[in-house]
């Protein structure tokens, strides 16, 4: 075992924490000089990628290769690189919340996960500007800066604080989102959109949010959060209630007591709602 934040962790989680924090240190430096960064756009002006994203992913790839050199690697910026070990895959988002980052908002994160045969077995979400590192490994609980965490105990939807990923210009499901708001705003205490799904899922794991959902989400945004929420005592499915598929495109992470009610509120109203919407890449 190895010590991190005053607690003993496995060598795997220690290495993942170190990689995420190293990438986070680079992002912190770039954040302080954000006005000078080179920025381009993937699809349109609503979907930016910066030099900081690319540097962070390169840092993660190098650091993680020292731990699992034969593992595959799926990164938001570089896509899928298959490894000699076909059972393991690193899944990383080097900068979740790029638009926040570029606008000078501190709500952005580094997401690092390891999947074995498609199931996430370990995950780290590091929020560099807030000094928070969340981690979880199957069978070892969920942690924040060395403290064990658990999902909220709130029992009723009217008490709930929810996180959501709102579709922006280049994303689909706008009509679906409007229907969800019509159903939910009169039933809950609050709904928040941070613009970084990694943080939303970490907040479900530590009880700050009671649930988080998104209808168009990528594997690298949610992979670490899946194991965080489940090890913290929560439930993660797609938004139709089916077992979570990292490539399926939708996610609902919540407490067990609210999950059923939320599925009713997220019932599809558009054609896309009947099928999953995700990347075609198999992991």
What are the tens digits of pLDDT across the range 30-65? 998 886 776 766 555 545 678 889 999 999 999 999
- Tell me, what's the pLDDT at 43? 55
In this prediction, residue 283 has a pLDDT band, given cuts at 50, 70 and 90, of low
Residue 63: HSE in the Cβ half-sphere, 13 Å Cα cutoff: 22
Token pair, residue 258, equals: 């609210």
Please work out, in degrees rounded to the nearest 5, the angle formed at the alpha carbon of residue 59 by the alpha carbons of 40 and 85: 110
The residue ranges of DSSP E strands in the chain, in sequence order, are: 2-4, 7-9, 39-41, 48-50, 71-75, 79-81, 85-96, 109-116, 119-127, 132-137, 142-144, 147-149, 161-164, 190-192, 211-214, 235-237, 251-254
Please give the DSSP secondary-structure letter assigned to residue 277: -
Residues of the chain with CATH 3.40.190.80: 157-274
Residue 178 pLDDT exceeds 60: yes
**What integer pLDDT is reported at residue 278 of this predicted model?**
41
Of residues 171 and 232, the one with the higher pLDDT is: 232
pTM metric for this prediction: 0.91
Report the pLDDT value the prediction gives residue 31, as an integer from 0 to 100: 92
pLDDT band at residue 166, thresholds of 50, 70 and 90? confident
The mean per-residue pLDDT over the stretch 202-209 comes to 98
Residue span(s) of the chain under CATH 3.30.540.10 come to 2-149
Q: Give residue 277's pLDDT.
A: 38
Tens digit of each residue's pLDDT (9 = 90 or more) over 13-29 = 999 999 999 999 999 99
Q: Percent of the chain scored above 90 by pLDDT?
A: 76
Residues 124-145: tens digit of each pLDDT = 999 999 999 999 999 999 999 9
What CATH number does the domain located at 2-149 have?
3.30.540.10
Share of the chain above pLDDT 70, in %: 91
pLDDT at 42: 58
Length of the chain: 283
The pLDDT of residue 274: 43
pLDDT of residue 41: 64
| pLDDT the model gives residue 271 | 55
The half-sphere exposure of 23 on its side-chain side, counting CA atoms within 13 A, is 34
Give domain 157-274's CATH number out of 3.40.190.80, 3.20.20.60, 3.20.20.70, 3.30.450.40.
3.40.190.80
Res 47: pLDDT: 57
């Amino acid at each position: 075992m190895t010590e991190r934040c005053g607690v003993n962790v496995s060598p795997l989680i220690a290495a993942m924490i170190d990689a995420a924090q190293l990438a986070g240190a680079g992002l912190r430096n770039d954040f302080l000089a954000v006005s000078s960064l080179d920025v381009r756009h993937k699809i349109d002006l609503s979907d930016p990628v910066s030099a900081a994203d690319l540097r962070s992913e390169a840092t993660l790839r190098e650091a993680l290769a020292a731990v699992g050199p034969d593992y595959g690697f799926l990164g938001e910026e570089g896509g899928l690189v298959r490894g000699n070990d076909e059972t393991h895959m690193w899944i990383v988002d080097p900068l979740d919340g790029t638009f926040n980052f570029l606008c000078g908002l501190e709500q952005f994160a580094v997401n690092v996960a390891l999947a074995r045969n498609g199931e996430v077995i370990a995950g780290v979400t590091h929020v560099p500007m807030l000094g928070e590192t969340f981690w979880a490994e199957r069978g070892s609980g969920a942690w924040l800066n060395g403290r064990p965490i658990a999902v909220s105990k709130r029992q009723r939807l009217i008490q709930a604080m929810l996180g959501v990923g709102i579709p922006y210009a280049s994303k689909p499901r706008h009509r679906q989102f409007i229907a969800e708001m019509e159903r939910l705003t009169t039933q809950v205490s609050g709904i928040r959109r941070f613009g970084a799904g990694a943080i939303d899922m970490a907040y479900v794991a530590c009880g700050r949010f009671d649930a988080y959902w998104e209808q168009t989400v990528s594997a690298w945004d949610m992979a670490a959060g899946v194991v965080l929420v489940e090890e913290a005592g929560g439930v993660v499915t797609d938004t139709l209630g089916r077992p979570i598929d990292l490539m399926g495109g939708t996610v609902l992470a919540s407490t067990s007591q609210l999950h059923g009610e939320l599925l009713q509120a997220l019932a599809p109203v558009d054609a896309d709602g009947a099928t999953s919407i995700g990347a075609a890449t198999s992991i």
